[in-house]
Structure 1
Amino acid sequence: MANWSDPRTTAAPFATGADTRSVAYDAGLRSYMLSVYNYMASGVLLTGIVALLFSMGGTSSPAAAVFMSGGILKYIIMLSPLAFVMVLSFGINRLSTGAAQMIFWAFAGVMGLSMSTIFLVYTGSSIAITFFATAAAFLSLSLYGYTTKRNLQAFGTFLIMGLVGIIVASLLNLWFQSGTMSLVISAIGVLLFAGLTAYDTQRIKLMYSHVAGTDMMGKAVIMGALSLYLDFVNMFQFLLSFLGSRD
């Protein structure tokens, strides 16, 4: 009598070529995404450490001296992160992987200098609560973007248009100084970067099939980390305007 309960009688004697390729692809994708998240998290950590150190001492800190003086150094620090983002975004094809990594770390450090003012404005406890709330939301949204079968790329144009709108509204509010407008911008900003977190995660995942095994893979990791870093930091800043308690 055939031993129908013996799994050895129904198991395939060896994996097919397609199965082997699928396993290799999945392992490569996991390694790729893990590298992206490692760079992103390390960048956020570096930014936080630099911001904390630069603001130590409160009104006697280097951050207070720079940002309360109104000198040119204030504007250099504020605009430097944008310069690094532009160099990476428009020059990534001409940069080596090592150069892209160094620029990313320099960007994260300069962002720390720029963001150090939050420690002068908000209480430490409210910054910590907002950070952990942002981290929880980011992890959930990124996990959704990674696992969902729904194509989120269709939302890309809408989200980019929203981002442009937020930038324009923020610049206008520098002139009007409206508290209500600031709250509206912050609320829309949180929702916008929540959507971008899921969208960018899926986009980075799909990018793997184009860069796997090529010289662009290392640079794709950096650019993916930069996108998720910006999503996290912007969501944190907009959320802080709601949850943050001022000193």
Structure 2
Amino acid sequence: MADYQTIRPSGQTAGVGARSADIDAGLRAHMNKVYGLMSVAMLITALAAWAVAGLAVTDVPSQAVAQIGDHTYLTSFGSAIYMSPLKWVLMFAPLVMVFAFGALIPRLSVAAAQLFFYVFAAAMGISLSSILLVFTGASVVTTFLVTAIAFASLSLYGYTTKKDLSAMGTFLMMGVIGLVVASVINIFLASSALAFAISAIGVLVFAGLTAYDTQTIKNTYLQHAESGDSEWMGKSAIMGALNLYLDFINMFMFLLQFLGDRR
């Protein structure tokens, strides 16, 4: 009996160690999937923005309906999406899609949820295409690289830190709501001082959310690692990718207000 009790804990320890190794491997695979989905969505967004901006402008006056800069003109397509009421639809469509995604994902298959995510990324690219008309290409690329470095550092911190960041969640979400309200108000006020404050606070809020969301994705996986529910894991990876994608896009847009050179 004594021998049995001595051997049993050793077996349990080995079993626990094996399960721990499996969970660690599963976590790495899960995070790789999250970052992979996010990266594909970012590529779709960039391609959509580039394609739409390319169709919207021309340097041939005879093909233009409006001039927006030196030797830069809007085509009829550009006029329709940037100077008509359609611009409001394109501006707010991604926000509507985010809320719709949250409501629909429990009823969607993993494949359908992933497709929805990519369609959303394309809609975001169309919505953001106007920045390529406002800012120089070099400053857009520079700001993207700065954002990528900051994002990678913050996400790594969120993944590796032992500090519990959950207390930040409510505060940061209140900050997001405040930013949305202030941004909508400033559409009509057009205050440069308010725009500066929104951009400064926005960078800080989404920097915090990058670390917080990364830790949340990690902890959520660990809490459900032994469930064996592949469909849940697939949807969880998509939602995690969506959250990090939004953190990146918003941090990029706010940094662009500081680092971008206007045409």
TM-score between the two structures when normalised by the length of structure 1: 0.90
Q: CA deviation at 1:98?
A: 1.1
Q: CA deviation at 1:211?
A: 3.7
Q: 2:253 aligns with which of 229, 237, 245?
A: 237
Give the stretch that moved more between structures: 129-138 or 87-96.
Answer: 87-96
Aligned partners of 2:28 and 2:81: how far apart in 1?
A: 42
Q: 1:32 aligns with which of 30, 48, 52?
A: 30
Aligned partner of 1:183 in structure 2 is 196
Aligned partners of 1:143 and 1:94: how far apart in 2?
A: 32
Q: CA deviation at 1:209?
A: 2.4
Q: For the structure 1 residues 238 and 195, does the alpha-carbon distance in structure 2 shift closer, same or farther, using more than 3 Å as the test?
A: same
Aligned partner of 1:41 in structure 2 is 39
Aligned partner of 1:6 in structure 2 is none
What amino acid does structure 1 have at the position aligned with 2:14? T
Tell me, yes or no, if structure 1 residue 224 matches structure 2 residue 237. Answer: no
Q: CA deviation at 1:64?
A: 2.5
Look up the SS of the partner of 1:228 in the other structure: helix
**Structure 1: 5+ residue runs without aligned partners?**
1-11
Q: For the structure 1 residues 150 and 63, does the alpha-carbon distance in structure 2 shift closer, same or farther, using more than 3 Å as the test?
A: farther
Q: CA deviation at 1:77?
A: 1.8
Tell me, yes or no, if structure 1 residue 83 matches structure 2 residue 83. Answer: no
**Structure 2: 5+ residue runs without aligned partners?**
1-9, 58-72
**Structure 2 counterparts to residues 16-165 of structure 1, below 5 A:** 16-56=14-54, 58=57, 59-60=73-74, 64-71=78-85, 73-165=86-178
Q: CA RMSD in A?
A: 1.7
Q: For the structure 1 residues 158 and 237, does the alpha-carbon distance in structure 2 shift closer, same or farther, using more than 3 Å as the test?
A: same
Aligned partners of 1:63 and 1:45: how far apart in 2?
A: 23
Aligned partners of 1:164 and 1:27: how far apart in 2?
A: 36
Aligned partners of 1:228 and 1:62: how far apart in 2?
A: 35
Look up the SS of the partner of 1:35 in the other structure: helix
Q: 1:208 aligns with which of 218, 221, 239?
A: 221
Aligned partners of 1:63 and 1:51: how far apart in 2?
A: 14
Q: For the structure 1 residues 24 and 118, does the alpha-carbon distance in structure 2 shift closer, same or farther, using more than 3 Å as the test?
A: same
